[in-house]
Amino acid sequence: MHIPDGYLSPATAGVMYGAAAPFWYIATTRVRQALTGRTVPVLALFAAFSFVVMMFNIPLPGGTTGHAVGGTLLAIALGPWAAVIGVSVVLGIQALFFGDGGLMAFGANCFNMAIVLPLVGYFVYKVLSANSEATSTRRLVAAVLASYIALATAALFAAIEFGLQPHFFHAADGTPLYCPYDLNEALPAMMIGHLLVACPIEALATGLVFAFLQRTHSSLIKADVPAKKEGKVWLLWGALGLVALATPIGLLASGTAWGEWGLDELKDLGLGFIPSGMQRFAEWWPAPLPDYSFARMGAVIGYILCAFIGVALVAALIWVFGRMFIRKGKDLATEESPSEGDSPV
């Protein structure tokens, strides 16, 4: 579902950055107010899980692939605004270091996967799980259904963004300048594979982790109670490490995710031409570890190393942001505290 550079016009990319910006601002404000030294490691953990789970490519109909995101699970554990920050960090690291998604398309990818997905997932979860116990079956079912619906919604937004490009941005003769597939092609190509395969996998992954949390760390999923860093959270980090070791399973899926083809792959698909905008902007950023690989290193070992590097980068960046948010939150509280002799509002 990652949109690469060149598939969206600069105008569309700018609009998507503008659409994402208010949500980033709100998320930063909300997270700064709620985040504590005890919750920063939990946010880093779930954001790292999102990074790792995206590396498991899933075969989809038509010879393409898809992947889960984990944004709904993060929203359930730490709230939707923390999920906006966490998944945005993940998408930024993927684009910068691994060439997964694009820097120009970063706003669009964040809007779809870091904003629409966790907000929709959290809303559906809260509606379906209202007034239920943290360890109840209904809450588990709510998490599963919410994650399915949220990923499907994010895929729908991405399909629309793809499909509108040839309608609005084309040469005088009608040749598309950017994404060459209109809505009639983008919608079924994106939605069929996601509804039948990717969304069920997202729901399954969310359900398995959620059920584990119900048994071992139920405070992370209690309604309206901020998540706390519990004892033995290090066990969750250990489990994440084992999952990272299994990421080469994602290499078994042949093909590339729909709409994420490079220029050479587009030629192999028999398109007959390469849109000029794609030639100009595609792959302009030289990611140091493209496609989660190392030069002159086996694919499996390279993939595992990239998984651990990604986890380390996500955790480090979340820790830095977390410390900044906490510091700013304390400074803001100090500034807003009533002076001696004043009565609180």
Closest CA to 47 of 250, 322, 311, 306: 311
27-56 pLDDT tens trace: 999 988 877 777 888 899 999 999 999 999
Contact yes or no for 226/34 (Cβ under 8 A)? yes
For the record, the structure tokens of 304 come out as 């595992």
pTM higher than 0.85 for the full model? Answer: yes
Report the C-alpha gap between 1 and 68 in whole angstroms: 9
Every domain of the chain and the residues it spans: 10-329
Q: Which of 99-113, 123-137, 227-241, 250-264 has the lowest mean pLDDT?
A: 227-241
- The pLDDT of residue 225 is 45
Helical segments of 217-257, H only: 233-245
Q: Residue 216 — very low, low, confident or very high, per pLDDT cuts 50/70/90?
A: confident
Q: Which CATH number fits domain 10-329: 1.10.1760.20, 2.60.34.10, 3.10.450.50, 3.40.190.10?
A: 1.10.1760.20
pLDDT band at 282 (very low <50, low <70, confident <90, very high): confident
DSSP state of 251: G
